[in-house]
Structures are given as structure tokens and as C-alpha cells.
Amino acid sequence: MYQSKTSCARLSLRTDSGFQAQADSRYVYNLSNCGDSCAKWVLKIAEQKDLTVYLRHIMGFEGLFEIQIMNTGKIVRNRAEYVMGLLEAEEMMDEG
């Protein structure tokens, strides 16, 4: 797995073009150390190109968006659906 060299703190302080130049849809970006302040940048970049990220927490995405939860294939479009989708994915993993 590829891990981006861009830390969340640095990402939060950059304009979207800084990370966009680095974001390459061939890789999975581990953003588990990013806080909710990164959520808006992740969505903004994803408007321009496909972006796959790995998260070990529920990121604070706001508003309307379209995210595919890779574990289930489910498409979610708002925070409530996102949280429910993550819980479903976790249940699937627990069941084995």
C-alpha cells in the first residue's frame, strides 16, 4: 500500500492544488491520521479525479457527496448514509 508523504496538518494548510498535484488515482492514500479538517479537501479533490483513501475512523464529511465504501460497494451521499454504510462494512468484517 502506498502512503502519502503529505501529513494531515500540512494538507489542512495547503490550497487544494497542492495535494491535487500529488494525488494519483493509482494509489490508496492512508488518511487515518487526518482529522475532520481534511474532509473538505478530500471531497474537493475527488470532484476532480477518482481518489481512494483508507480511513480507520469516521471522517467528518459534510453536505452532499458521493462516496463508495469499497468493503461493500455501497454508494453513500450524506453523512447519515456514510455512517450507516461504515457500520454495515464493520458488521461484515466481524461476521467473517
> 79 burial class (0-12, 13-18, 19+ CB within 10 angstroms)?
middle
C-beta of residue 62 within 8 angstroms of C-beta of residue 88? no
C-beta of residue 31 within 8 angstroms of C-beta of residue 53? yes
3 state SS of 70 = coil
- Pick 66 or 30 by higher pLDDT: 66
pTM above 0.75, yes or no: no
Residue range 12-56, pLDDT digits in tens: 444 444 455 566 788 888 888 888 888 988 898 888 888 888 888
If phi over 0 gives left and psi between -120 and 50 gives alpha, with beta otherwise, what is residue 63?
left
Give the model's pLDDT for residue 14.
44
Give the model's pLDDT for residue 96.
65
Please report which helix (H) or strand (E) contains residue 41, including its range: helix 39-48
